[in-house]
Amino acid sequence: MPQAGRDPLLELPVEVDRRVATEQRQRVIEKAHELTTAEREQDLSETRQLMSEVETLNRLRLQLLSGLSFEKRSGVLGFGPPGWDQAASEVRQVWLTLRYHLRAAFEWGREIQSGSRRGSSAWLALVLLVKWALPIGLFVWWRRRGELELERWRQSQREKARLKRERNRFRIDDTERVVAFLKRVHKPLEWLLLIGLGTWVMPQQVKGLLEVQLASTALLRVFGGLFLVLAIDALSADGPRPSSLGSGSAPIDTGSLRLRSLNLVGRATVAFGLALSLTELLVGQGTIYDWVFSTYWFAAVPILFMIIAWWRPFIFERFARARRPNGFELWVLANREPPPRLLASVRSSLAAVAGGVYLFVNGAARAVRSRVLSFELTRRLLAYLFRRDLSKKARDRESMEYSALQAEAFRALGPEVSSKQTVRSAADAELDQVIRDIRSAGGGAIAIVGERGAGKTTLIQRVVESCAGPIVISCRPAGAEELRLQLDQALGLSLDTTFETAA
C-alpha cells in the first residue's frame, strides 16, 4: 500500500504557512494506515480460509483411505514411492500448519500491542488468572508439605491399624499400603492433576486452540508415563529380595534393575505415543502415523534384547535354583555359558530371552493366583460375615430355654446303637470284595478306618453275618499285647501263646 513518505515541506522557512498541506498529509497518513490494516485483515482472512480448506481436504483424504483397495492402501501407507510421496505431503502440511499458527500468534500479539484487542485480551487473562489461582496455589503448597504430610498420615494409619487388629483380628485396613503407594507416585500424580484441572477450567475458545492441545497432550503423555512407571514399580516392590549369583558374588539389586527396565520401556512408549498423538493432531492418522506405529514394533525388539541383557545373570541364576528343572529349564541352563563361538552366543542370547519371557509369564501367573484367585480379601470378609451372623443368631436365641433329652432318646441317638435298616450305597461293592477276600485262602489283614459314628461297627457286623463261623474279638486300644491275649482266649490256647503259634 503506498505511503505518504518523507515530508518535503520540512525544509521551507518557518514563516511559510503549511497548515493546509500538513492537514492533507495527516489525512493521507491515516488513510494509508487504514488501508494497510484492511489489507492485513483481508490477508489474514484469506489465510484462515485457505487453512480451513487445507484441513477439510485432509479430512476428506483420510476418509478415502478406508475406501481404497488393500493393494492401494498398502502402497499409500507403506515405505514405497507412493508412501514417501504421501509422507512428504504430510510433512509439508505439518510445516504449513505450524507456520500458520505461529503467524496467528504474532498477529495476536501485535493487536494487543497496538491496543485494538487489549481490552478483550486483558479480560481473558484476568479470567484465566482467577481460575488458575486456586489449583496453582494448592499445587505449590502441597509440593512443599506433601512428603511430610504423607509420612504423618502413614504413621497415623499404622497405629490405627495396629489397634484395630488387636480388637478384631478379622478387620481389614489397607490404608497404610495406599499411603505408601502414594508416597512413591505423588509427584507425577500432582502434575497430572494440575494439568487436568488447568485444562478443565480453561474457556472453550482457549481450550480449542491447537497450541493448547499440543502442550496439554505432551505434558499428559510425559507425566502419565512417569506415573505408570512408578506405579508398576511400587506394586511390584513386594517381589523377591536381592539374590546372589553364588558364593562370594555380589547380590543383584532387583529393585533398581526393575526400575531401570521400566524407565527404558516407559520412555520408549512415551516417545512413540507422543509422536502418534502429535501426528494425529497435526495431520491425522495418515502415512506418517502408520509409519510411527509400524516402527514402534521394530524398536521393541532391541529394547527387549537390552532388558534381557541387563537381567541375564538373574535369569540364569533363577533357573539354576530350580529343584526339579523341566526340559525347557535344562535347555536354558545348558546355554548359560556358551563357548566363544558366534552361533553359540546367539543361541545363549535366545535362551536368555526365552527364559526371561518364561519367568515373566510364571511370575504374572503367580501374582494373579495369589492376589486374584486366592480371594484372600473375600475369604476374610466371608469369615467376618459368618461370625457376625452367628453372633446375631446367638443374640436372637438367648431367650430360648433348653432341656436335657430323655435317657431312652439319648441312648437311641448314640453312636454305639446300630441302625436296624441298612441303606444301600456305593460302599456295598467294596464290602462284597472284602467278604470275598476273607473267604478266599491265604489270609491277610483288612483295616476299616473312619471317625466315630461313621458306621465301622455296622460294617463289621455285616461282614460277620456274611461269613460262616467267624471268630469275633473286641479288643480295647491297649496295644499288641492286649490283642494277643484276646486272640489266645478266643482260640482256647494258653495265655502265654505267641502270635506265631496262634496264627
DSSP bridge pairs for 243: 252
* Domain count across the chain: 3
Condensed to tens digits (0 to 9), the pLDDT of residues 445-478 reads 888 888 887 778 888 888 888 887 788 888 888 8
Q: Are residues 380 and 430 in the same domain?
A: no
Global confidence as pTM: 0.52
CA triple 207-213-214, angle to 5 deg: 155
Q: Is the pLDDT of residue 240 over 70?
A: no
- The CA-CA-CA angle for residues 126, 137, 155, to 5°, reads 165
Helix (H, G, I), strand (E, B) or coil at 2: coil
Task: Please report the pLDDT score of residue 1 as a whole number.
Answer: 73
Same domain as 100, residue 14? yes
Domain membership flag for residue 164: no
Which whole number is the average pLDDT over 87-114? 80
Contact criterion met (CB below 8 Å) for 265 and 194: no
Q: Which three cell numbers stand for residue 491?
A: 482260640
pLDDT at 312: 77
Same domain membership, residue 26 and residue 88: yes
Residue 249 is predicted with a pLDDT of 47
Q: Give the domain-ending residue among 341, 374, 390.
A: 390
Q: Tell me how long the chain is.
A: 503
Domain end point (choices 390, 406, 432): 390
Q: In this structure, is residue 218 part of a structural domain?
A: no
Nearest-Å Rg of the Cα atoms of the chain is 44
How far is residue 247 from each of residues 263, 313, 317, 332, measured CA to CA in Å? 31, 14, 12, 21
Read off the pLDDT of each residue in 287-300 and give the average, rounded to a whole number: 81
Mean pLDDT of 247-259: 63
In terms of domains, do 17 and 94 share one?
A: yes
Residue with the bigger pLDDT between 123 and 499: it is 499
- Establish if 23 belongs to a structural domain: yes
State the CB neighbour count (10 A cutoff) for residue 406: 9
Per-position b or e across 65-104, b if 16+ CB within 10 A of its CB: beeeeeeeeebbbbeeeebeebbebbeebbeebeebbeeb
Q: Identify whether residues 25 and 86 lie together within a single domain.
A: yes
Residue 132: pLDDT over 80:
no
Shared domain for 378 and 440, answered yes or no, is no
Q: What is the 3-state secondary structure (H, E, C) of 296-331?
A: HHHHHHHHHHHHHHHHHHHHHHHHHCCCCCCHHHHH
If one compares 456 and 296, the residue with the highest pLDDT of the two is 456
495 belongs to a structural domain: yes
Residue 237 CB partners (closer than 8 Å, separation 6+): 184, 255
pLDDT band at 372 (very low <50, low <70, confident <90, very high): low
Last residue of a domain, one of 104, 126, 153: 104
Domain that holds residue 386: 322-390
Low-confidence winner among 7-21, 116-130, 144-158, 445-459 (lowest mean pLDDT) = 116-130
For residues 447 and 460, what is the distance between their CA atoms, to the nearest angstrom?
A: 10
Tell whether 378 and 461 lie within a shared domain: no
pLDDT value of residue 99: 86
Region 73-92: mean pLDDT is 86
Same domain membership, residue 450 and residue 371 = no
For residue 386, tell me if it sits in a domain: yes
Is 226 a domain residue?
no
| 331 is a domain residue | yes
Average pLDDT, the chain: 78
Residues 357 and 441 in one domain: no
* Pair (382, 468) in one structural domain: no
Which pLDDT band holds residue 325 (cuts at 50, 70, 90)? confident
Considering the domain boundaries, does residue 44 fall inside one?
yes
Confidence grade of residue 170 (pLDDT, cut at 50, 70, 90): very low
Distance between CA atoms of residues 3 and 476, nearest Å: 130
